[in-house]
Structure 1
Amino acid sequence: MNGTRGAIEIHLKELLEEAGLSKNKFCQRAELQRSQLNGYLNNTITRLDIDVLIRICDTLNCSISDLLEYKPN
């Protein structure tokens, strides 16, 4: 996500690799659509969905700070 004040970087790709999960298996476990997953993987999502973030963190057993990072301009 990008804006005039900074950006939120999503580290889902790295977390999936660490967990050794395929995209398909992760989508099944987190109950996500593939298009949702791709938006988070490609850092192109413009509005974060709290429910999706919870499902991602629950599925990967990680904290929100593992998943999201604020990068000031």
Structure 2
Amino acid sequence: MQDIEYGHVKIKLNEILEAKNISINKLAYRSEMQRSQIRKYCKNEVQRLDISILARLCYSLECTLEDLIEYVPLRNN
């Protein structure tokens, strides 16, 4: 069975933190999450998105889900 490429989901947490000038430590405190977990989201190293974590991040950062994640379709060249 051949793998089919569908594109990917990009987590834009790092960009939001930079734009709002918020550190990972401050976000960890606000969202009651571990820094290591936030770092994984910042580096797009998460395999499965947890909707409760996404809600927590949106609440803590005062942003929308659309601000936080983006679907990047596959580009066929």
Q: TM over 0.5, yes or no?
A: yes
**Equivalent pairs, count:** 71
Partner in structure 1 of residue 15 of structure 2: 14
Structure 1, gaps ≥5 residues long:
none
Partner in structure 1 of residue 50 of structure 2: 49
What is the RMSD of the two structures over their aligned residues, measured on CA atoms?
1.2
Residue 4 (structure 1) shift:
2.0
Q: Percent identity?
A: 44
Q: What letter matches 1:55 in structure 2?
A: R
Matches of 2:73 and 2:19, distance apart in 1: 26
TM-score scaled to structure 2, two decimals?
0.87
Q: What letter matches 2:57 in structure 1?
A: I
Matches of 1:52 and 1:35, distance apart in 2: 13
Q: Which runs of 4+ in 1 moved over 3 A?
A: none
Matches of 1:31 and 1:51, distance apart in 2: 12
Structure 2, gaps ≥5 residues long:
none
1:3-56 Cα offsets, whole Å, 9 max, x none, are 821100111011011111111011010111112101100001000011110010
TM-score scaled to structure 1, two decimals?
0.91
